[in-house]
Structure 1
Amino acid sequence: MTYKAMNVDVDGDGIALVTIDLPGKSMNVWDADLMEDFAKWVDAFIADENVKGAVITSGKPSGFLAGADLNMLGGGGMGGGASKKEQFESAFALNATLRKLETGGHPAKALQKGEAHAKPVAAAVNGLALGGGLELVLACHHRVVADNPKIQLGVPEVQVGLLPGGGGTQRLPRLAGLQNAAMMATQGKPIDPATAKAQGIVQEVVPADDIVVKAKEWVKANPKTTQPWDKKGFKFPGGGGAMDPRAVQFFIGANAMAQKQTQHNYPAVQYILSCMYEGSIVPMDTAIRVESKYFLKLLSSDQTRNMIRTLFINKQAAEKGEQRPKDVPPSEIKKVGVLGAGMMGAGIAYVTAKGGADVVLIDRDLEYAEKGKGYSQKIVEKGVSRGKVTKEKGEELLARITPTTDYDDLKDVDLIIEAVFEDPDVKADVIKKTEAVIGKDVIFASNTSTLPITGLAKHSERPDQFIGIHFFSPVDKMPLVEIIPGGKTGDKALATALDYVRLIKKTPIVVKDTRGFYTNRVVPPYLNEAMLMVAEGIKPALIENAAKSLGMPVGPLALTDETSLELGLRIMNSTKKELGDDYKPTGVEDLLVKMVEDLGRKGRKSGGGFYEYPEGGKKHLWAGLSEYFPVAAEQPSLDEAKERLLYAQLIPAAQCYAEGIVSDPQSADLGAIFGWGFAPWTGGPMSHIDTIGVETFVRKAESLAQKYGSRFNPPESFREMAKAGDKLYKKAA
């Protein structure tokens, strides 16, 4: 029998070596071909008396198997015409195949009585095994993993709103105990081979060259085998079931902790715990059907569809250069000049060197330039101390960064990234100095958060090679980068910018050239709304808790402190100056002046803003705030506060889409989640608007506008969409 996605070779001892190797793909995944091939092979393996056992491995140097093909699952179900039973059987297919593999096709009762045994199957894991990849490993009777601490073993499905759907919620707790299994499945974080062995998930960790040999040795030595959970008298490690006090205590605590962390926004976490609880009190054959029931509920939901689409499919497409001009040859970026060694420039230098390119880090004073390199040194030293990077690799990275004050050192760079002070005159000066020495074909990118690129490009002699690359702070941690073509920017500049972002492994979106671009057109209104609520007398704790309850990583007042109230005041004043009589007050002007100029509370870096930051202590809201902004007698409900803060983001995001600042809903969603931490469970603001319905969004926005002001009015184009019954993601409708 021949297969499309794997190769099968049977040796003289009757042991089949099954090598999974999907053609044309860099990584193995459970796609339609592998699902079909593997099911056929399991049937053939069980039926062929000449085959005594099997070893399953991978033909990919990239790893063993990375789980399900999320592009296949991204449609959110099994097809609109399928019955509920057909949908369930489709969702249950992998579970059924893996169960057949581990039982040899025998009934569980026969295995328990010792009347039947399965043929031995061992996994020889040469690299990462995630999601359905690890679930295949768990369904094998013996598991051998290469001795490499970088190998990741895990079930990350929760990160896209799913749960392990190939037996992971059942086999993991039966091997590692409920607590270890729940931590892996609800957090989605992988573990290394040594940890997996210590937890009983794998049996052997051996040198990579020996994994197949060791796996075959075990198969030969164990001609008849049965999984532990198919033997009579099996008990969960550490306790399980409805009556064991240890299990009862675990589930009470786990549910409370999970909801505290997720704010009830992630059904997948609740369903994982439900799978483990229900599965621990029924036989394995029933347990995996329980798991598939919950898996199908999630897969059919709007939330999971949105999360898969944004957090995996669209993110991957953006990172592969979906918006890159197709007719421009790839650019080879070996050396990058970074102008300005402040916090942003230092971070850019680090991620560039980490990506493998050499960096010329230039500043007006050598001390500043060296201090900028010192930022990278601190990150490297921390990585070495935690075992995340070797000392040699760290030294290689640092050797790529050359601090200097001499513009002549830029003469052979492939790309320039300017990160000097946010002042048009300062930027104009460095543009002229740099263009005097760099090659004629070198692209010049400006890292600016607010200044329009077309205006900056006027200072360039080659505006077609001038582009914006907007990083977020801290650069080494924030995943998003905004690419901003100016009015005269050419395709080569856009292509090079996207090639560079791919080199440093960040997520790009291409946005229109306008003041604030996309993220800085949405975040200030959101932060302003929180400050307006303070000025109105709404309790700061309610504001912060409402935002966290929405799924925001931090409250808006804490975020304002981080970005600095002083910066907010400076931007407000510069916008006033630029717009003159056209400036429209936001309502927070007096608050910013009071906090910054009168009280000296400028934000976290200057000692405190809305919060206090005691040395060695935990930050807490500033008690003195109520002296200047008294708390109102009547407070909104939590849901009312959540709604106001949510729409304070949805409205400006919708306006940016309506104005073409972001040209498609996927860019708006990616920019929101990875730029300012918009609630990931929604899939992004555009996905959320689609989910609640454009008509509902418009109606609610108009209601809020009547109550709080015109800033909540929805864009006219959204009103038109509502009347027509349109959706933003039309292909997904």
Structure 2
Amino acid sequence: MVNTIRWERGDDGVVVLTLDHPGRSANVMNDEFGASLEATVSRLESERAGIAGVIITSAKKTFFAGGDLDSLLRLTPADAEAADADTRSLKHAVRRLETLGCPVVAAINGSALGGGLELALACHHRIVLDDPAIEIGFPEVTLGLLPGCGGVVRTVRLLGVADALANWLLRGQRHRPQDALAHGLVDEIAADVAGMMGAARAWIAANPEAAQPYDRKGYRIPGGTPASPALAAQLPALPATLRKHLKGAPYPAPRNILAAAVEGAQVDLDPAFVIEGRYFTELATGRIAKNMIKALFFDVQAAGSRDTGDGHPPLQRVAVVGAGMMGAAIAYVCARAGLQVVLKDVTAEAALRGKAYSVRLLDKAVARGTATPQQRDAVLARILATEDLADLAGVDLVIEAVFEDPTLKQKVYAEIEQVAPDALVASNTSTLPITMLAEGVSRPEDFVGLHFFSPVDKMPLIEVIRGERTAEATLQRALGLVARLRKTPIVVNDSRGFFTSRVIGTFTNEGVAMLAEGIPAATIEQASSQAGYPAPVLALMDELTLTLPRKIRQETAAAVVAAGGVWTPHAADAVIDRMIDECGRPGRSGGAGFYDYRDGTRAGLWPGLRDLFGGTNLDVSFEDLKERMLFVEAIESVRCLEKGVLTSVVDANVGSILGIGYPAWTGGVLQYVNQYEGGLPGFVARARVLAERYGDRFDPPALLCDKAERGERFE
């Protein structure tokens, strides 16, 4: 058996248990850990008379990383009984640890997420290093799970039902040490490891009879149990709040967390553990958790582990040309990552307005306590706002972020080459072909697309576009920048709209086309929300502005005709044109779109939509509405794979969730096809039904049909 826990007993009778899984970069809650914990607790019990206390710490960079996702990914409903038994066994060992009869302290020297925090909560006292890189929390809900080793039960008993749900369990918040201290799940902050270990020993010496608060006679859960009048009055609002947050989307984890918390608070500790375990097992053996684990953990890891090349000189100085919303935000994330940034625009005033974006974000960070004034000033000092082209001399990379006009962009490239002839050049275009734009540079092999997503400081994805002549070394250096910015990359080949813009356009067009069919706007919005999209489709269109898709459509149509093809209008086109030309409603930035706005805030769907487009068609199946949006994006993604725009299933799944808001419960556009009822054959059959009802855009591509006939999946 591999032992994952090292034992060291000092002269003071304190046993230090160091979590150290051999051969792994992080400690995880797997079978080997379970066996090691069982053996360790048995030894502690047998030697209890000579033990003054226990300190649990870690030899890894993180304290404890949580559950073994490899094992969880393999669970099926047939494994439910065995999985529940394993969970009960692990909980029993942890429970024996906290009832050992001597003080147990968690010395948290790195992030404690999920199972790591569950283990720490089973200790009587928790001390954490004062390191802003450390995160403490329960992110399980973001992977379709709940904390299954006592996390729900102990958090509720320590903080109360309302606090536990709102601040720790339902949204998967990750707290910094000071926040965790303020919330009460951490008891002390230590400046360094030596101080942390010293404080742990001191607390053990001062508390020889330590026990959990909820194990002491007369203890009451903060805020009361569901039987308490005050809490009972609040309980009906909890499901309503949850429904409002989920908007009917198929995410069972928050529902199970709520049920485990409320039901567990009504019974004693051991039955509460059983309730929690059953809700955990239901999720762990279900399809949605596996979809989310695969996409948001394994696929994201795979996407982020791309080759950035060896021996390339590191990027140190970056220029961003165009200080508008995107350029300003790109400059901020580059400076935040430690790069020197030149932010250029046509006037000094425009460049300074762009830098002011960084000032606002950093001031907010200081106000929240997530950055110090010194850190703010250091980031701002790395941004030079300028109108002078000569300031670009000596930069390693130029990111162009000007308007989506090929002529303007190529004029900018010519100017860049005058002062920075050796720099790599990247365009932040979201739709224009990189190969076409590269015609404006003398070294197309050093030209690449870097498509950032708005808001840049929050969106985790960057779409890296390889033009026909982009060199491998250029691609690798671009990926190196993405890694430096701590973003997740996907790599796609050149095409108008690339992958993300091309696919999200099918989603927005589908929603708008439903208006043309006379389907009520509120029904369309509800269908997209219940399908799991983070923003309803018409609301999203307003955010993007209706003029942008029209411009993209016009440019694409012109390119198709110029190439000798025939352009076929989409049903959404006429709706968008009428909204802009007849109604003067171009979207949120124009103060009016599919929604009304008051002081820039959405104030409900525009009543005029009913007069303009009808809104009395109630005959279309609501399930059809949801699946039309999901299917049209999945089918277009298969076409991207078929045409070589996409080269990997991982990029499709990661890019769709992190970049364009495809519902995370699906596992991504191609995993949605895999997991559809009946697999690929079932998806193909349903696509053909939708094609017959709504148009040939739902015809399954040949690649999809071939894989379905061969019994394959998108892997």
User: 3-state DSSP class of the match of 1:511?
Assistant: strand
> Which one of 682, 704, 711 corresponds to residue 718 of structure 1?
704
1:105-120 alignment runs, 5 A limit? 118-120=101-103
Match of 1:52 in 2: 52
Q: Could you tell me whether the CA contact under 8 Å between 1:328 and 1:491 is conserved in 2? A: no
Match of 1:549 in 2: 530
CA offsets 1:537-593 (integer angstroms, 9 cap, x no match): 111111111111111111111111111111122222222222225211112332222
- Aligned-partner residue type, residue 88 of structure 1: D
Cα distance 1:607–1:398, how it changes in 2: closer, same or farther (>3 A)? same
Offset of residue 219 of structure 1: 2.0
Offset of residue 641 of structure 1: 2.0
Aligned residues: 706
Match of 1:75 in 2: 73
User: Using the alignment, how far apart are the partners of 2:249 and 2:529 within structure 1?
Assistant: 11
Cα distance 1:633–1:487, how it changes in 2: closer, same or farther (>3 A)? closer
Q: Is 1:701 aligned with 2:687?
A: yes
CA offsets 1:60-103 (integer angstroms, 9 cap, x no match): 5x543332343x3452328x9x8654333333343222112112
Offset of residue 704 of structure 1: 0.9
User: 3-state DSSP class of the match of 1:77?
Assistant: coil
1:288-687 alignment runs, 5 A limit? 288-319=273-304, 321-322=305-306, 324=307, 328-329=310-311, 331-438=313-420, 440=422, 442-580=423-561, 582-615=566-599, 618-687=602-671
- Aligned-partner residue type, residue 162 of structure 1: L
- Aligned-partner residue type, residue 660 of structure 2: W
Higher mean C-alpha displacement, 25-34 vs 364-373: 25-34
Offset of residue 306 of structure 1: 1.1
Match of 2:99 in 1: 103
Offset of residue 5 of structure 1: 4.1
Identity %: 40
Q: Could you tell me whether the CA contact under 8 Å between 1:175 and 1:199 is conserved in 2? A: no
- Aligned-partner residue type, residue 90 of structure 2: L
Q: Could you tell me whether the CA contact under 8 Å between 1:240 and 1:246 is conserved in 2? A: no
Offset of residue 197 of structure 1: 4.7
Q: Could you tell me whether the CA contact under 8 Å between 1:20 and 1:57 is conserved in 2? A: yes
Q: Could you tell me whether the CA contact under 8 Å between 1:76 and 1:301 is conserved in 2? A: no
Q: Could you tell me whether the CA contact under 8 Å between 1:695 and 1:722 is conserved in 2? A: yes
Offset of residue 202 of structure 1: 3.8
- Aligned-partner residue type, residue 289 of structure 2: T
Runs of 5+ consecutive residues of structure 2 not aligned to the other structure: none
Match of 2:268 in 1: 283
CA offsets 1:478-529 (integer angstroms, 9 cap, x no match): 2211111111211111110111011111111001211100011111121111
Cα distance 1:617–1:489, how it changes in 2: closer, same or farther (>3 A)? closer
Match of 1:212 in 2: 197
Q: Could you tell me whether the CA contact under 8 Å between 2:431 and 2:496 is conserved in 1? A: yes
Cα distance 1:314–1:634, how it changes in 2: closer, same or farther (>3 A)? closer
- Aligned-partner residue type, residue 363 of structure 2: E
Cα distance 1:235–1:363, how it changes in 2: closer, same or farther (>3 A)? closer
Cα distance 1:200–1:451, how it changes in 2: closer, same or farther (>3 A)? closer
Offset of residue 213 of structure 1: 2.2
Cα distance 1:460–1:148, how it changes in 2: closer, same or farther (>3 A)? closer
CA offsets 1:439-489 (integer angstroms, 9 cap, x no match): 53x322121111111222222222222111111223222221111111121
Cα distance 1:92–1:657, how it changes in 2: closer, same or farther (>3 A)? farther
User: 3-state DSSP class of the match of 2:116?
Assistant: helix
Q: Could you tell me whether the CA contact under 8 Å between 2:433 and 2:496 is conserved in 1? A: yes
User: Using the alignment, how far apart are the partners of 1:565 and 1:269 within structure 2?
Assistant: 34
> Which one of 118, 121, 137 corresponds to residue 138 of structure 1?
121
Offset of residue 167 of structure 1: 0.5
Match of 2:161 in 1: 178
User: Using the alignment, how far apart are the partners of 1:524 and 1:594 within structure 2?
Assistant: 18
Q: Could you tell me whether the CA contact under 8 Å between 2:325 and 2:354 is conserved in 1? A: yes
Cα distance 1:603–1:229, how it changes in 2: closer, same or farther (>3 A)? same
Higher mean C-alpha displacement, 474-483 vs 490-499: 474-483
Match of 1:109 in 2: none
CA offsets 1:190-227 (integer angstroms, 9 cap, x no match): 34555545554344445545332232223223334443
Higher mean C-alpha displacement, 612-621 vs 460-469: 612-621
Match of 2:673 in 1: 689
Offset of residue 367 of structure 1: 2.5
Match of 1:65 in 2: 64
Q: Could you tell me whether the CA contact under 8 Å between 1:91 and 1:295 is conserved in 2? A: no
In the superposition, the TM-score normalised over structure 2's length comes to: 0.93
Match of 2:84 in 1: 88
Runs of 5+ consecutive residues of structure 1 not aligned to the other structure: 105-117
Q: Could you tell me whether the CA contact under 8 Å between 1:536 and 1:632 is conserved in 2? A: no
Match of 1:108 in 2: none
Q: Could you tell me whether the CA contact under 8 Å between 2:57 and 2:109 is conserved in 1? A: yes
Q: Could you tell me whether the CA contact under 8 Å between 1:655 and 1:714 is conserved in 2? A: no
User: 3-state DSSP class of the match of 1:436?
Assistant: helix
Cα distance 1:424–1:171, how it changes in 2: closer, same or farther (>3 A)? same
User: Using the alignment, how far apart are the partners of 1:168 and 1:47 within structure 2?
Assistant: 27
User: 3-state DSSP class of the match of 1:179?
Assistant: helix
Offset of residue 707 of structure 1: 0.8
User: Using the alignment, how far apart are the partners of 2:31 and 2:417 within structure 1?
Assistant: 53
Offset of residue 24 of structure 1: 6.5
In the superposition, the TM-score normalised over structure 1's length comes to: 0.91
User: 3-state DSSP class of the match of 1:521?
Assistant: helix
1:245-260 alignment runs, 5 A limit? 245-260=229-244
User: 3-state DSSP class of the match of 1:670?
Assistant: helix
Q: Could you tell me whether the CA contact under 8 Å between 1:525 and 1:652 is conserved in 2? A: yes
